Amino acid sequence: MMNQKMQLWNTLDRASLEKQLQEIGHKYITISFYQYAHITDPQSFRDQLYLQWTNLDIVGRTYVAKEGINAQIAVPTAHLGLFREELYQISFLNGIRLNFAVDDAEAAFPFLKLKIKVRSKILADGLNDTTFDVTNKGIHLNAAAFNALTNDPNTLLIDFRNHYEWEVGHFKGAILPDVDTFRESLPFIEETILKGNEDKNIVMYCTGGVRCEKASAWFKHRGFENVHQLEGGIIKYANDCKELGIENKFIGKNFVFDERRGERITPDVIAVCHQCGEPADNHTNCVNDACHLLFIQCDNCKAAMENCCSQACLETIHLPLEVQKELRKGQNKSNLIFKKGRSAALPFQGHKEKPQALIEQTLKNQKA
């Protein structure tokens, strides 16, 4: 019964996964949630969760660590009730807030398979959690309270996402740090934005709230007192604004980490194609297996460049497969993937248009 360890992972290729999902025929709803908690045996918890969710045909990406869980998954609408029931039977997840996607229309399947990974942390932050109280978090703001506080001229509104996320959508008046990772953003934001502004109301936001949960506790530990965070992040905010009929201060797209790449919050297109400079906000991964760079590409460039980020990649994909494999040998493409949207081959890069000078000018205006 336990041969192959009950196959607690997926081994199918992309084409097979897509065919399998089409044959099953589920309609999916995308859900995200996180919880900091003490998990004594992350591997056993992970395996238990994998079996439960596989039985419900759930797909998605989830990280489990001794410090908790961070999940972005797609649940069949027919199994939503049972999923919630089973999830709430886990003591530290009983009643957990679930963030439902704002817009599920841009991809047939938001995820192709179920991946649950055990990690040292659910969020790579570079912090030593034993040095501060991670439960001493900032004040959570619902949509109405967020709108009110961000109207206060004594408030600093800071985007805690990476440059390729805020490039396609962000809150009006937000400070947009040009960073690649959450780990990088913490010291950068403290040094360039928060220092000298200890008397300001600090309001931070991210996609679903998990980054702000840790960041708010860290900055309170660092001596900043007026720390606030958007409860449930952009996803919950957009849904609440729609439900309550209040002003939505977010413009553009909310970048998401699944096959959709983004969910439409407002019709505004605030980014440009990285190849031609025309208005565009659809992210794509370069189709060249030796690259897979994430960048913004309009439909015209997508057709002309065949989903490639550069002429070199376009030429590569037309080589025989065996030649392509030979060229990839020994190459480490992780840095290209990691540096999303940063490539000398892309002449129009939106993050370059929002340099440190813009941050300084925003702070200067708020002090005036």
Residues with active-site annotation = 206
Sheet with strand 201-205: strands edge to edge: 139-141, 227-230, 201-205, 155-159
Alpha helices in 89-232 (DSSP H): 143-150, 163-166, 182-189, 210-221
- Give the separation between CA 213 and CA 231, rounded to whole angstroms: 9
Q: How is residue 87 written in tokens?
A: 């999830």
- Give the separation between CA 65 and CA 116, rounded to whole angstroms: 11
Q: How far is CA 350 from CA 101, 111, 225, 243, 271, in A?
A: 25, 27, 33, 32, 7
> How would you class 279 by CB atoms within 10 Å of its CB: exposed for 0-12, middle for 13-18, buried for 19 or more?
exposed
Residue of 283, 100, 268, 282 whose CA lies nearest to 172:
268
Q: How is residue 341 written in tokens?
A: 């949207």
Q: How is residue 135 written in tokens?
A: 């439960």
- Give the separation between CA 295 and CA 273, rounded to whole angstroms: 8
- Chain centre distance of CA 223: 28
Q: φ and ψ at 86, to 5 degrees?
A: -70, -40
Of all residues in the chain, what percent are helix, strand and coil, respectively (each to 5)? 40, 20, 45
Q: Are 209 and 236 in contact (CB under 8 A)?
A: yes
Q: Are 274 and 264 in contact (CB under 8 A)?
A: no
